[in-house]
Structure 1
Amino acid sequence: MKFYDAGIDWVFAHKRLILIGAALSIPLCVLMFRVIGKERMPEIDQNELMVNVEWNENIHIDENHRRVNALLRCTDNLVTEHTAYVGMQDYILGTEKDLSASEAELYFKTEKPEGINPLKALMEKEIRTSYPEASVTFSPPVTIFEKLFVTGNPDVVARLQVADRTSAPQASDLKELENRIAEATGQVPERTAFRSQLNLVVDRDRLLVYHVNYNEVVRVLRTAFRDNTVSTLRSYQQYLPIGMAGKEKSVNRVLAETLVEAENRQDGSRERTYVPLRELVRVVPDEDLKEITAGRNGEYIPISFYGVEDAPTLIEQVRETVEADKRWDVSFGGSFFSNRKMMGELTVILIISVLLMYFILCAQFESFLQPLIVLAEIPIDIAFGLVVLWALGHTMNLMSAIGIIVSCGIVVNDSILKLDSINELRKEGMPLVEAIHTAGHRRLRAIIMTTLTTVFAMVPLLFTSDMGSELQRPLSIAMIGTMMVGLLVSLFVIPLIYWFIYRKHDVQKN
C-alpha cells in the first residue's frame, strides 16, 4: 500500500507533466506505427537454407553435377551439412516440383542461424561471378509453418506485361530490360528462368520448288519426333494417349534420315519421289520462358526483389525504367503490399473494437464521458507497446498485433473496476480525492494479480528456442510491455484524468 500511496501522491503533485505525457501518447503512437517495421509473420531464426538454381543454359546433366559439386566445396567451412538434387528426380510420390536437366536444388545446414547470411552472400557471389545467366533463389525448408504462412515471398514483384497483347515476349528484350532495371535500382532482381529450345521452321519457298505439301511435312515431323498419337485409352476419368515412337536420335540426324513424299507434277509419271526433311526445314536455336505466370489481368513476367529496404523508392525507379520502354507495361505486388493491406485490416478491426467497447461502457456507466476516460488508456498502452517492440528489434506483425490488442482489452478491465469503485464511493458521499485513494486501495491487489498472472504466463516463451516459441515471442513481448505499462496507467494516470474532469463538479457540490 505504501508504494501506491507514494505513487498517487507523486502523480497528483505533477499533474501537468502527467497529463501532457498522456496527451503526447497519441502522436507517439502514430509515429511508432510509421517507424516500426511491418511484416506478415514474425521472422524465425533458421539454420537451414534451400537454394534453387536454374542455370539458364542448355547443359548436360554431368555439367550440372560438376557445377553443383564446385558450389558445395566452396561452402565446406561454413556449413555442417549439405546435399543437393541435380536434374530430374524419379519419385512417384514427390510430384510437387519436377526439376529439369538444367536445374539444381541445394540444401545447407549451418551450426547457428547467424551463419545463414554469410552463406547466402557467398553463394550469390559465386553464382553471379561464374554464371551470370543463372537464376538463383533462396528459401527456408518447406515445413508446416511455411506451408501455412509462406514467409519466403519477395518484398516487391514487378509484373511485366507486353504492351501489345497479341505478341509474345522475346527473351533478348526481357534480359535487356532486367539489366536496365538492375542499373536503375542498384539491386539485382531474381533472374527470369528461360529454357533453350530448337524451333523447326518450314521453308515454304522450297516446298514450292520440290512440290511438297505443307500438311504432309507437318505429319512427317510429328511422326519423326514421336508426337504421332494413334489412339487413346479411356478408363473412367483417366486418358492415356497411345503414340508411335522410335529410337533416340539427334535433331539433325532425324531431319537427314526422314523423307517426305513429293508430288510429281512435271512428267505425270506415277513414280514416287522423296525429299529429305533437311532440305525443307531449318533448325533455329531459341529461348523461351520456362514458366508462365497469370493473374487477374492476364499473363505476366514476375521480376522479384528480396531484401528491399525502401520499397516505395524501388517501385518508382522500376516504373520509370519500364515506362521509358514503350513495349512493356508494369504493375506491382509482393509482401510489401500484402503487409500494408494486413495492417490496414488490423487498424479497422481495432477501431471497430474500440467503438463497440465504447457503446457497451456507455450502457454500463450510464454516461458518455466516463467511457472516454477508460478508453484514454488504449493509445498510451499501444504507444509504449510499440516502443518496446521497436527497442527489442521486433516488427509489427500479426502475432505482435494480437498481443497488443489482447493486452489492451485486459488492462481496460482494470480501469473499469477502478472507475466503478470510485463512482460507488462518490454516491455514498465520499469526497473525490478520498474516493480515488480508497478505490485504489480496494482494487490494488486484484489489478496487480491480474497483470502479474498474465505476465508470468508469457515469460517462459522468452527463454525457449523452438519454432512455436519463436513464433509467439513477439506476442509475449507485446503483451508483457503493454500489460506493465497498462498497470501503471490504470493505477495512477486514469484516476488523475478522472479527477481532472470531475474536480469542478465536486467543488460545486461541496
Structure 2
Amino acid sequence: NFGMVRMVLPDIKERERSQMEIANALSVAVRNQTAARAFVQQRSTFGGRRGGMPIQYILQAPNIEKLQEFIPPFMEKVNQSPYFQMADVNLKFTKPETRIVIDRDKAALLGVSTRDIGQTLQYALSGQRMGYFYMNGKQYQVLGEINRQQRNSPLDLKTIYLKNSSGEMIQMDNLVKLEETVAPPQLYRYNRFNSATITAGLAEGYSLGEGLEEMDRIAAEVLDDTFRTALEGESRNFRESSSSLLFAFGLAIILIFLVLAAQFESFKDPFVIMLTVPLALFGALLFMWLFDVTMNIYSQIGIIMLIGLVAKNGILIVEFSNQRQSAGMSKYEAVIGASVQRLRPILMTSVSTILGLLPLAMASGEGANGRIAMGIAVVGGMLISTLLTLFVVPAMYIYLSTDRKSKTRETIDVRHV
C-alpha cells in the first residue's frame, strides 16, 4: 500500500520556478486527491542524501497502549496547525488481530490448565514438526496442524477439543473468549522506548525552527508526563547545529574580548569595541526581515563572521583615541579627532567588504538560497554597524574608557617630586 515517485527537475536556468515553489504547488494539488494520501518530500539540503519530511518528531512512551491512546489527539492538533501542510505517523494500528482470553476460573473448575490450552492451540495451528516417519525408503515429516477447512474462521478455534486432568474431552468454547482488535503491523523503538515518528511538511512561510517549536507546544498540550520526545533526520541536524552555532557565537565573543583586553591592558576599552557586535546583529536582523530571509544555518554562520568584521571599526577608533589621550588630549578631543581621522580607513575597509559580499547576496543558480542568506546577513550587519559605530563608539568611549591623560599627569608629578 505504499509507493514513491522520484521527480528530477531540469536545470534552474531552464525553469521559472524554484524547487520550493514547485513542491508547494504539488502539495496543494495532491491534497485534493482522494484516491490515495500523497506527500511531497524534498531532498534535504544538509544532513544526508536521503529525502524526507523536514519535521521528524519522535514520541516515546513506556508501552504501546499509551501511544495508541495519545497519537490520535496529537495528530488532530498537528493537522489543525497552520504551520504544517501535511502530516503522517509511521505507527499505524491497521492490522486485524484476534486475541484469545482464557477464563481461568472456569478452566480450573473443569480441570484444564492454561498450559494445556496453549499446547493444544500450538499443535492445532502452528504446523510444528512432531517427528519423522519412513515409507518406501523416504523420510517424511510429521506436522501438527488441523485441516485448512477447520481453521478458516476465528470461530473455528472454539470447536477444538482438549482433554482435562480426568481424561474427559472439553470443547474450547467453554474455556476461552475471542476478542477482535487491531494492532500495528510493525513496532518501533527509540532509546529502548516504544516510539512513533510524526513526519510533517512545513506550510509556506514557516521555517524549520518554527515548526519544531510548534511540535513542542502541541506535545506539552496533549501528552502527559510519561512521554518523552526526540528528533530525527533533518530536524535533529538542525537542532544540533543551532546549539553548536550558538556556542561558537558565544565563544567567539569571549575570545575576541580576551584578546582585546590583553592588547589594550584594560577591560573597559574592549567593552567599548564589543558594542559594535549588537549593532551588527541589529543590522543583520533588519535586512533579513526586509528581504524575507529566515534564521537558518547559513545566516547564523554569516552573523558569526560579523563579529570579527565589525570589531575592527571600533579598534581603529579606540586605539587612535588612546594614543591621542597619551599625548595630552582630553577624552572628548581625543575621540572626536580619532573618529574624523579614522573615517576614511573605516569607510574604505567597510565599503570594500560590502562590495566583495554583494555577489554572495545577489547569487543565483543551484544552492543560491544558502548563499543569499549568508550574504544578506553579512552585508546588512556591516552596513548598519558601520553607520552606527561612528556615533555610538565615540559616545560610549567618553563615558566608559580609561582616562589615560590623568594617569600620565600623575606619573609626571611623581617624577618631578
- Please state which band the TM-score falls in when normalised by the shorter chain: 0.5 to 0.7
Task: Report the secondary structure of 2:189's partner residue.
Answer: strand
Letter in 2 for 1:294: R
Q: Counterpart of 2:299? A: 400
**Pairing 1:139–2:41 present:** yes
Q: How does 1:167-246 map to 2 (within 5 A)?
A: 181=77, 189-192=87-90, 214=122, 218-219=126-127
CA contact (8 A) 1:417 1:443 kept: yes
Q: Compared with structure 1, are the counterparts of its residues 260 and 322 closer, same or farther at alpha carbon in structure 2 (3 Å cutoff)? A: farther
**Pairing 1:331–2:229 present:** yes
What is the root-mean-square deviation of aligned Cα atoms in Å?
A: 4.6
Q: Counterpart of 2:32? A: 125
- Aligned partner (choices 381, 390, 393) of residue 482 of structure 1: 381
Structure 1 residue 301: Cα displacement: 1.5
CA contact (8 A) 1:385 1:404 kept: yes
Q: Compared with structure 1, are the counterparts of its residues 500 and 283 closer, same or farther at alpha carbon in structure 2 (3 Å cutoff)? A: same
Q: Compared with structure 1, are the counterparts of its residues 111 and 193 closer, same or farther at alpha carbon in structure 2 (3 Å cutoff)? A: farther
Q: Counterpart of 2:149? A: 278
Q: Compared with structure 1, are the counterparts of its residues 220 and 444 closer, same or farther at alpha carbon in structure 2 (3 Å cutoff)? A: same
CA contact (8 A) 1:158 1:302 kept: yes
- Aligned partner (choices 401, 405, 410) of residue 309 of structure 2: 410
Q: Compared with structure 1, are the counterparts of its residues 444 and 376 closer, same or farther at alpha carbon in structure 2 (3 Å cutoff)? A: same
**Pairing 1:103–2:11 present:** no
CA contact (8 A) 1:201 1:281 kept: no
Structure 1 residue 394: Cα displacement: 0.9
CA contact (8 A) 1:185 1:317 kept: no
Which stretch shows the higher mean deviation, 351-360 or 109-118? 109-118
Q: Compared with structure 1, are the counterparts of its residues 350 and 283 closer, same or farther at alpha carbon in structure 2 (3 Å cutoff)? A: same
CA contact (8 A) 1:408 1:482 kept: no
Q: How does 1:34-433 map to 2 (within 5 A)?
A: 55=1, 102-107=2-7, 109=9, 111-113=16-18, 114-126=21-33, 129-131=34-36, 134=37, 136-141=38-43, 145-146=45-46, 148=48, 153-155=53-55, 157-159=57-59, 161=61, 163-164=62-63, 181=77, 189-192=87-90, 214=122, 218-219=126-127, 276-280=147-151, 282=153, 289=184, 292-307=187-202, 315-323=216-224, 329=227, 331-333=229-231, 339=238, 342-433=241-332
Q: Compared with structure 1, are the counterparts of its residues 340 and 386 closer, same or farther at alpha carbon in structure 2 (3 Å cutoff)? A: farther
Which stretch shows the higher mean deviation, 189-198 or 457-466? 189-198
Tell me how far apart the structure 2 counterparts of residues 300 and 443 of structure 1 sit (CA, whole Å): 62
Letter in 2 for 1:157: Y
Tell me how far apart the structure 1 counterparts of residues 49 and 399 of structure 2 sit (CA, whole Å): 48
Q: Compared with structure 1, are the counterparts of its residues 278 and 386 closer, same or farther at alpha carbon in structure 2 (3 Å cutoff)? A: same
- Aligned partner (choices 343, 354, 363) of residue 444 of structure 1: 343
Letter in 2 for 1:155: I
Task: Give deviations 1:149-170, integer Å, cap 9, x for gaps.
Answer: 8785443625153x446x7977
Letter in 1 for 2:17: K
Tell me how far apart the structure 2 counterparts of residues 407 and 465 of structure 1 sit (CA, whole Å): 23
Task: Report the secondary structure of 2:40's partner residue.
Answer: strand
Tell me how far apart the structure 1 counterparts of residues 356 and 346 of structure 2 sit (CA, whole Å): 16
Q: Compared with structure 1, are the counterparts of its residues 280 and 505 closer, same or farther at alpha carbon in structure 2 (3 Å cutoff)? A: closer
CA contact (8 A) 2:78 2:218 kept: no
Q: Compared with structure 1, are the counterparts of its residues 366 and 178 closer, same or farther at alpha carbon in structure 2 (3 Å cutoff)? A: closer
Identity percentage of aligned residues: 19
Task: Give deviations 1:48-86, integer Å, cap 9, x for gaps.
Answer: xxxxxxx4xxxxxxxxxxxxxxxxxxxxxxxxxxxxxxx
Structure 1 residue 442: Cα displacement: 3.9
Q: Counterpart of 1:59? A: none
Which sections of structure 2, spanning at least 5 residues, go unmatched? 10-14, 103-111, 130-140, 156-179, 411-417
Q: Compared with structure 1, are the counterparts of its residues 139 and 490 closer, same or farther at alpha carbon in structure 2 (3 Å cutoff)? A: same
Structure 1 residue 374: Cα displacement: 0.8
Q: Compared with structure 1, are the counterparts of its residues 124 and 444 closer, same or farther at alpha carbon in structure 2 (3 Å cutoff)? A: same
Q: Compared with structure 1, are the counterparts of its residues 153 and 441 closer, same or farther at alpha carbon in structure 2 (3 Å cutoff)? A: same
Structure 1 residue 364: Cα displacement: 1.1
Tell me how far apart the structure 2 counterparts of residues 346 and 489 of structure 1 sit (CA, whole Å): 26
Task: Report the secondary structure of 2:369's partner residue.
Answer: helix
CA contact (8 A) 2:252 2:307 kept: no
Task: Report the secondary structure of 1:190's partner residue.
Answer: strand
Letter in 2 for 1:426: Q
Q: Compared with structure 1, are the counterparts of its residues 361 and 151 closer, same or farther at alpha carbon in structure 2 (3 Å cutoff)? A: farther
Letter in 1 for 2:59: R
Tell me how far apart the structure 1 counterparts of residues 243 and 47 of structure 2 sit (CA, whole Å): 24
Tell me how far apart the structure 1 counterparts of residues 259 and 143 of structure 2 sit (CA, whole Å): 89
Task: Give deviations 1:230-285, integer Å, cap 9, x for gaps.
Answer: xxxxxxxxxxxxxxxxxxxxxxxxxxxxx9778xxxxxxxxxxx963332465799
Structure 1 residue 121: Cα displacement: 0.9
**Pairing 1:497–2:396 present:** yes
Tell me how far apart the structure 2 counterparts of residues 383 and 220 of structure 1 sit (CA, whole Å): 74
Tell me how far apart the structure 2 counterparts of residues 473 and 160 of structure 1 sit (CA, whole Å): 38
Structure 1 residue 420: Cα displacement: 1.3
Structure 1 residue 365: Cα displacement: 1.0
Tell me how far apart the structure 2 counterparts of residues 316 and 493 of structure 1 sit (CA, whole Å): 40
Task: Report the secondary structure of 2:198's partner residue.
Answer: strand
Structure 1 residue 479: Cα displacement: 0.9
